Amino acid sequence: MNGLLLTTQQALQLLLSGDAELWSIVLLSFSVSLKAILLTTPLALLVAFALNHVNFPGRRIILAFFNSLLSVPTVVIGLFLYVLLTRQGPFGNLRLLFTQSAIVIGQMILCFPVLVALGYAAIQASDRRVWETARTLGAPTWFSILTVFYEVRFGLLAAVLTGFGRIISEVGISMMVGGNIMGYTRNITTAIALETSKGEFAQGIALGMVLLSLAFLLTAFLSYIQGKKEFTT
Amino acid sequence: MKKIILVFLLYIFSLGIVPAEPIRLATTTSTENSGLLKVLIPHFEKQTGNVVHVLSVGTGHALRLGQDGNVDVVLVHAPKAELRFVDAGYGVNRRSVMVNDFVIVGPENDPATIRGENDAVRTLQKIALGKHIFVSRGDDSGTHKKELFLWKKAKLKPKISWYREVGQGMGRVLQIASELDAYTISDRGTWLVMRSKLSLKLLAEGDPELHNPYSIIAVNPARYPGINYLGAMSLIAWLTSVEGQNHIRNFRLEGQPLFTPTAVKN
């Protein structure tokens, strides 16, 4: 118990003293995961919209497929991507293995089904007349889609934040295709794994605290926005 | 649909732009955990303008990364596996860089009475005979290969009842051994870094069998044309130069010299 208190104290000191190595790892984590979520969101939401508004054969199956992808373990995505990106793999000549881009791609794959499934649910809850009205008033397709998105913006925001929470906290993909290279692909979660293996628990706990406060902030932000929405409608 | 694919491809390619070609070095956890590379690499980068990306994994994994062309150069410690690696045409220009040694550690009360032992084989026989818990890396690392070699030399087959194969890095294995009051074999560097956090004691050392030589090998550029062969060779040249070797000799961990350079004779 004493040891726990002591390591937590050391962890706080590390965070507050602005330990350069620690904060560069935090920054790297955020920049990589932000890239992944920003690149995925437009495409995933369009897919979610299409699944809602376009009736084509196999629609249900695709939806079930995305829903089942929600629980794919990250190491499996990591392994799958590794096999694709290794030098002898089909995309080996792109030389992407052990780069930030590899992590971004992996995290895009990871959050894509989250965004589609939650985005779908959000759009489904919208009033269908929004779309019909926009169309009858002569709005072009892209604008009508944006109107629907605007109507369900809270649900979509929740989807994006959930997706972000999923990828910033994953370790399997980052470790496998990133390689935990200091200053280049070492992010919060792979650093925690490494520091723990070295017995440097304080550094690990400090990084864990960053992740925890992020989770707390995201949740607080979400409930604040949703509370506001209830108040106005 | 075509547009979607196009946009997606653009995403991917815009991700693939990397400014300078780094040298990818796969090496063992022992060189990274001891802090040696943190001292050496910046000197090398400053002098040559190269950037080194260090992947620290077990020796077996590092050689596999080299074999697949996923790294440019490997710094490892398993002479037999290294020779096979070169013979098979996966690597070229193998140079020995430095040597340190393995130590056998265990619980303070030492139930197998191996304290002060300087014969590695006899030490392991004592541990096996008394069925004392022994934690093994089990990850095909250089340390694991050495441990298996010693068991073979001792003509012993470890039994599941007292032999714990955990498949993790050296630091984790020392922690596990400490929690289980067990014996294990470690490279001296990781032991020195970790010992203040462990309830283990250094019990046996000094057998020539416990020597731990490190070599650096460039990945064969004929197998993988795009590989950073010149970068790999410049790292090999620097590590085996008088200057690089001096940095290795002067490296201290908790006041103790850790590696003896072996590349250039004075």
Tokens matching residue A127: 């009033």
Label residue A231 by pLDDT band (50, 70, 90).
low
Q: What are phi and psi of A172, to 5 degrees?
A: -60, -50
Instruction: Measure in Å the smallest separation between the Cα of A220 and chain B Cα atoms.
Output: 32
Tokens matching residue B265: 């004779």
Q: What are phi and psi of B54, to 5 degrees?
A: -100, 125
Residue A183 has what pLDDT? Answer: 86
Architecture (CATH level 2) of domain B18-99+212-261 = 3-Layer(aba) Sandwich (3.40)
Contact B10, B59 (CB under 8 A): no
Q: Is any Cβ of chain A less than 8 angstroms from the Cβ of B7?
A: yes
Mean pLDDT, 10 residues at a time, over chain B (266 residues)? Answer: 60 54 92 89 95 92 94 95 96 96 96 94 95 92 93 92 89 91 94 91 95 96 93 97 96 90 85
Query: Taking CB atoms and an 8 Å cutoff, what residues of chain B touch A39?
Result: 11
Residue A232 has what pLDDT? Answer: 56
Percent above pLDDT 90 for chain B: 74
Cα gap A129→A46, rounded to integer Å: 19
In the three-class reduction of DSSP (H, G, I as helix; E, B as strand; rest coil), residue B160 is classed as coil
B64: nearest CA in chain A? A86
Average pLDDT over residues A215-228: 84
Contact B51, B235 (CB under 8 A): no
Yes or no, beta carbons of A98 and B18 under 8 Å apart? no
Q: Give the domain ranges of chain A.
A: 19-225
Label residue A221 by pLDDT band (50, 70, 90).
confident
Tokens matching residue B260: 């003896």
Query: CB A62: neighbour CB atoms within 10 A?
Result: 14
Cα gap A31→B32, rounded to integer Å: 25
- Dmax (CA) for chain B in angstroms is 73
Cα gap A52→A149, rounded to integer Å: 12
Average pLDDT over residues A105-115: 97
Cα gap B194→B144, rounded to integer Å: 18
- Give CB contacts under 8 A, 24+ apart, made by B231-236: B231/B21, B231/B22, B231/B23, B231/B50, B231/B72, B231/B73, B232/B23, B232/B72, B232/B73, B233/B93, B234/B23, B234/B48, B234/B50, B235/B23, B235/B25, B235/B44, B235/B50, B235/B52, B235/B73, B236/B73, B236/B93, B236/B95
pLDDT single digits (tens) A3-16 = 788 888 888 888 88
Label residue A25 by pLDDT band (50, 70, 90).
very high
The CATH class of B101-210 is: alpha beta
Q: Pinpoint the alpha helices (H) of chain B.
A: 2-15, 29-33, 36-48, 59-67, 79-87, 120-129, 142-153, 170-180, 188-194, 229-239, 242-250
Is residue A95 pLDDT above 70, yes or no? yes
Question: For chain B, percent helix, then strand, then coil, each to nearest 5?
Answer: 45, 25, 30
Is residue A151 pLDDT above 60, yes or no? yes
Average pLDDT, chain A: 90
Between residues 162 and 221 of chain B, which touch chain A (CB distance below 8 Å)? 168-169, 171-172, 174-175, 193-194, 197-198
In this complex, the residue of B15, B33, B68 whose CB is nearest that of residue A101 is B15
HEC string of B56-79?
Answer: EECHHHHHHHHHCCCCCEEEECCH
Among chain A, residues having any CB pair with chain B shorter than 8 Å are 39, 43, 46, 86-88, 92-99, 101, 104-105, 179-182, 184, 196-199
Report the residue of B53, B56, B229 to disrupt the A interface, i.e. the one with the largest count of A CBs within 10 Å: B53
Residue B266 has what pLDDT? Answer: 65
In this complex, the residue of A98, A101, A105 whose CB is nearest that of residue B70 is A98
The residues that bridge with B54 in the sheet, in sequence order, are B25
Cα gap B59→B76, rounded to integer Å: 5
Question: Which pTM was predicted?
Answer: 0.82
Is residue A126 pLDDT above 90, yes or no? no
Q: Give the domain ranges of chain B.
A: 18-99+212-261, 101-210
Sign of the CA dihedral A9, A11, A15, A18? positive
Tokens matching residue A8: 């937590």
B4: nearest CA in chain A? A43
Yes or no, beta carbons of A39 and B33 under 8 Å apart? no
Fold assignment, A19-225: MetI-like fold (1.10.3720)
Residue B4 has what pLDDT? Answer: 61
Residue B117 is given by DSSP the state -
Instruction: Measure in Å the smallest separation between the Cα of A219 and chain B Cα atoms.
Output: 30
pLDDT single digits (tens) B148-193 = 999 999 999 998 889 998 888 888 899 999 989 999 999 998 999 8
Percent above pLDDT 70 for chain A: 97
Is residue A98 pLDDT above 80, yes or no? yes
**B79 CA to centre of own chain:** 12
Whether the complex's predicted ipTM is more than 0.90 is answered with no
Q: What are phi and psi of A32, to 5 degrees?
A: -65, -50
Tokens matching residue A178: 């990133």
Residue A175 has what pLDDT? Answer: 93
Q: What are phi and psi of B253, to 5 degrees?
A: -125, 120
Q: What are phi and psi of B27, to 5 degrees?
A: -145, 180
